[in-house]
Amino acid sequence: MQTEPVQIIRRNGKSAFPASPVGFDEKLQANNLELISAKVDTLQVNVGKLCNQACKHCHVDASPTRTEIMSRPVIEACLNALRKYKIPTLDITGGAPELIPDFRYFVTEARKIGAKIIVRHNLTVMFEPNQTDLPEFFAENRVEVISSLPYFLQQQTDAQRGAGVFDKSVEAIKRLNVVGYGVEGSGLILNLVYNPVGAFLPPAQSQIETDFRRELKTRYNLFFNNLFTITNVPVARFLDYLRRSGNEEKYMRKLVGAFNPATVENLMCRNLISIDWTGKLYDCDFNQMLELSVSGDLPRTIFDFDLKQFANRRIATANHCFGCTAGSGSSCGGAVAS
Amino acid sequence: MHYYNEEDLARFGEIGKSRPDLFEKFMAWYQACQEDGALSKREKALIGLAVSVVVQCPYCIDAYTQSSLENGSNQEQMTEAIHLASAIRGGASLIHGIQSHNAHDKISM
């Protein structure tokens, strides 16, 4: 069954969805697959679009000029859901989540509930005013830190994330290492994220992880736990880039051609609920940016969230979903199939 | 007007309309060569890129540039592979200078 976007949003006068030679739902059907959710084990909360960076591939369109941030009542509703349904993991993302006034409140309260807390931390925000103690704050709250570092060299990293980002990222990882992040035996987890700096698929996760471990240790004496490979999903700024560079059609053909049925079972949308800065509910952070709401008659906001209604729901899909099913697959936790 | 069209790469299979048996054999051989073996996919992609540049096949250059990136190589590594292949090609030309020297010596006093 074709999922119809609730609202067809547009981007620079064109569809916000990528054009594809084959529809995603059509591809699922051809492989006798359905995308149905399993047990929700993660509340992924996007606390807003404010960021100290403006990366060229950002699917959130985040930047220092954005003003959309999560308010205390929405945070309270997320905490209530965590508490009431004993959802094991809170995954906080943005923008740069640390920049919203209630970020530390959110983390410390979630910690009291006993949830595992993941923060998608961009590293450079550590050098913004009043943020220099972030490594200590993360450590005190046993936060799992996941940070993007698209490559172990300056050229590629700065090309995607902005001039000067690489040097600051190296310094930030050093500071995280000092408090124990990424250091064996500390129990403090620092995972890095590789994503391609352009219109191509990521390499095998284990292979590029080995490269990162060797190069970051040799060149800068840096340590981390795991490296996740993430495919660039063709939405927002990355879709703009594909169109600007004349790569949309070729990239979509590549994603469709690399469709791997084995990825579907482990797609992240099957186990999480995504919440936007206003409290609206989505199947994933990409759907959130496309305003592709949860399908059916499900509650639409965290204020009337009911966990049992979200198990076995049909995931809302569109052509951007090919980004998560290509090759070894892609999720916020990296590859999903070998 | 130019002879090479990027879109033609996707039409490669049309070669198999005539003598499909030969094309199938070629494809099986070609694909088997790409797999991990005693050499990794990454090493093979870099070899493919170097050879592509030397044989000056624009389709192969596109394909192996992409393949090298997707196997984790960076531009510096790819450029080294291209230099090596080009240097061998240059050297292969230069060594023929000995032919010239030999010819020169044979007819000179």
pLDDT (tens place) for every residue of chain B, 109 residues total: 678 998 898 899 999 999 999 999 999 999 999 988 999 999 999 999 999 999 999 999 999 999 999 999 999 999 999 999 999 999 999 999 999 999 999 999 9
**pLDDT the model gives residue B103:** 94
Beta-carbon separation of B10 and A253 below 8 A: yes
**pLDDT the model gives residue A71:** 98
**pLDDT the model gives residue A113:** 97
Query: To the nearest whole angstrom, how far is the Cα of B13 from the nearest Cα of chain A?
Result: 15
DSSP one-letter string for chain B: --S--GGGGGGGGGGGGSSHHHHHHHHHHHHHHHS-SSS-HHHHHHHHHHHHHHHT-HHHHHHHHHHHHHTT--HHHHHHHHHHHHHHHHHHHHHHHHHHHHHHHHT--
The answer to whether B13 faces chain A, any CB pair under 8 Å, is no
Query: To the nearest whole angstrom, how far is the Cα of A197 from the nearest Cα of chain B?
Result: 9
Residues of A in contact with B71 (CB under 8 A): 203-204, 207
User: Which of A151, A201, A253 minimises the CB distance to B70?
Assistant: A201
A window 249-268, beta carbon within 8 A of B: 253
A window 112-151, beta carbon within 8 A of B: 151
Tell me the H-state helices in A181-291.
205-220, 236-244, 248-257, 285-289
DSSP one-letter string for B53-72: HHHT-HHHHHHHHHHHHHTT
Strands A89-93 and A42-46: parallel
User: Which of B41, B66, B72 minimises the CB distance to A208?
Assistant: B72
Each residue's pLDDT tens digit, A243-297: 999 999 999 999 999 999 999 999 999 999 999 999 999 999 999 999 999 988 8
Q: Which fold has domain B38-109?
A: AhpD-like (1.20.1290)
Query: The CATH number of A37-244+266-314 is which of 3.20.20.70, 3.40.640.10, 3.40.190.10, 3.40.50.10260?
Result: 3.20.20.70
Residues (pLDDT < 70) of chain A are 1-8
**φ, ψ of residue A15 in degrees (nearest 5):** -60, 145
User: Which of B10, B42, B74 minimises the CB distance to A153?
Assistant: B74
In chain A, at which residue ranges do the beta strands (DSSP E only) sit? Answer: 10-11, 14-15, 42-46, 89-93, 116-120, 144-148, 190-194, 227-229, 272-275, 281-282
* Cα distances (angstroms) measured from residue A216 to each of A37, A121, A220: 37, 18, 5
Residues of B in contact with A252 (CB under 8 A): none
The residue whose two tokens read 């010596």 is B105
Buried b (16+ CB within 10 A) or exposed e, B80-98: ebbeebeeeeeeeeeeeee
**pLDDT the model gives residue A2:** 44
Strands A89-93 and A281-282: unpaired
Please give the structure tokens belonging to residue A171.
């310094």
| Residue to test with chain A: of B8, B9, B71, most A Cβ within 10 A | B71
**pLDDT the model gives residue B1:** 63
- Kindly provide the ipTM of the predicted complex, given to two decimals: 0.80
Q: Is the dihedral of CA A42, A47, A52, A57 positive or negative?
A: positive
Give which of A54, A18, A57 is closest to A197, Cα–Cα.
A57
**pLDDT the model gives residue A8:** 61
Residues of B in contact with A204 (CB under 8 A): 41, 71-72
User: Which of B10, B72, B76 minimises the CB distance to A203?
Assistant: B72
